[in-house]
């Protein structure tokens, strides 16, 4: 990944059937990352990650949200074909360090998800080696809470100390994508959602391929 390039990360959180319908319709672009979301992995397991990796020739992100057992979890994701994975910023320093080192050994992109972390910079300052990506994340359950925002104020703090990419996740629509890029993010994460879901994202029944292209133009 290039820190100067802006990427769209499309997250699949439903079942494999939805992904099998939608993903083949998305035109390949090196600026598009495909995510096996945490709910997707819990439903479909390692075989679900493998299926996405078989369908998408670019980067597939395994949103493991690892809290412990970093070496084993990275190994499983790598074996399944993922080229990037996430660890929770609230995990122990030992877990974070092992996760980053194991990703590096396996030529994978390491991502620290700062969900519910008040000071991401403090987490990073404890590490000898930074991750490739820091994810500023507003949780799904927080989307309906008035006043909850993606904390873009941390971008300059982090980038002043570390040469990392910044990812913005949580309730991202086109307007939020513009805001994320304006504030210095490199990656915007957009969820595939159903019409019944209360969350922001790309509705799976819409023309996902066309909307993905619109996102790419918006963040270019």
pLDDT, one tens digit per residue, over 194-219 is 999 888 999 999 999 999 999 999 99
What is the DSSP secondary structure assignment for residue 202, as one 8-state letter?
E
Do residues 211 and 202 touch, judged by C-beta distance below 8 A? yes
Looking at residue 142, what is its pLDDT?
Answer: 87
Residue 120 binned pLDDT confidence (cut-offs 50, 70, 90)? very high
Looking at residue 145, what is its pLDDT?
Answer: 83
- Above pLDDT 70, what percent of the chain? 100
- C-alpha distances in angstroms, 205 versus 23, 38, 40, 69? 13, 21, 18, 37
Residue 135 and residue 114: Cα distance in Å, rounded?
6
Looking at residue 1, what is its pLDDT?
Answer: 83
What is the four-CA torsion angle of 198, 200, 204, 206, rounded to 10 degrees?
A: 110
Looking at residue 35, what is its pLDDT?
Answer: 98
Looking at residue 146, what is its pLDDT?
Answer: 80
Mean pLDDT of the chain: 96
- Above pLDDT 90, what percent of the chain? 90
- Tokens 């008035």 sit on residue: 146
In CATH, which of 3.20.20.70, 3.40.50.150, 1.10.10.10, 3.10.105.10 is domain 7-153+161-197?
Answer: 3.20.20.70
Tell whether pTM > 0.85.
yes
Instruction: Kindly list the domain boundaries of the chain, sorted by start residue.
Output: 7-153+161-197
- Number of Cβ atoms within 10 Å of the Cβ of 63: 27
Kindly tell me if the per-residue pLDDT of 147 is higher than 90: no
Summarised one tens digit per residue, pLDDT across range 37-83 is 999 999 999 999 999 999 999 999 999 999 999 999 999 999 999 99
Average pLDDT over residues 132-139: 95
Residue 180 and residue 106: Cα distance in Å, rounded?
30
Kindly tell me if the per-residue pLDDT of 144 is higher than 80: no
Summarised one tens digit per residue, pLDDT across range 149-178 is 899 999 999 999 999 999 999 999 999 999
Average pLDDT over residues 130-134: 98
What is the DSSP secondary structure assignment for residue 125, as one 8-state letter?
H
């Amino acid at each position: 990944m290039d820190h100067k390039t802006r990427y769209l990360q499309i997250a699949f959180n439903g079942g494999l059937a939805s992904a099998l319908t939608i993903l083949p319709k998305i035109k390949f672009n090196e600026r598009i990352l495909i995510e096996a979301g945490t709910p997707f992995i819990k439903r479909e397991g390692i075989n679900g990650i493998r299926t996405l990796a078989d369908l998408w020739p670019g980067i597939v992100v395994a949103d493991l949200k690892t809290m412990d057992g970093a070496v084993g979890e990275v190994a499983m994701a790598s074996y399944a074909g993922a080229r990037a994975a996430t660890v929770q910023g609230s995990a122990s320093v030992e877990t974070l360090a092992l996760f980053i080192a194991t990703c590096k050994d396996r030529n994978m992109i390491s991502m620290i998800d700062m969900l519910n972390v008040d000071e991401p910079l403090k987490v990073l300052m404890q590490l000898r080696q930074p991750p490739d990506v820091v994810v500023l994340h507003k949780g799904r359950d927080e989307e309906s809470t008035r006043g909850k925002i993606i904390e873009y104020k941390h971008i300059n703090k982090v980038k002043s100390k570390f040469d990392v990419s910044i990812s913005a996740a949580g309730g991202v629509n086109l307007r939020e994508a513009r805001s994320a890029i304006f504030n210095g993010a490199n990656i915007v994460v957009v969820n595939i959602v159903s019409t019944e879901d209360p969350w922001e994202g790309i509705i799976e029944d819409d023309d996902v391929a066309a909307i993905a292209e619109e996102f790419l133009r918006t963040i270019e």
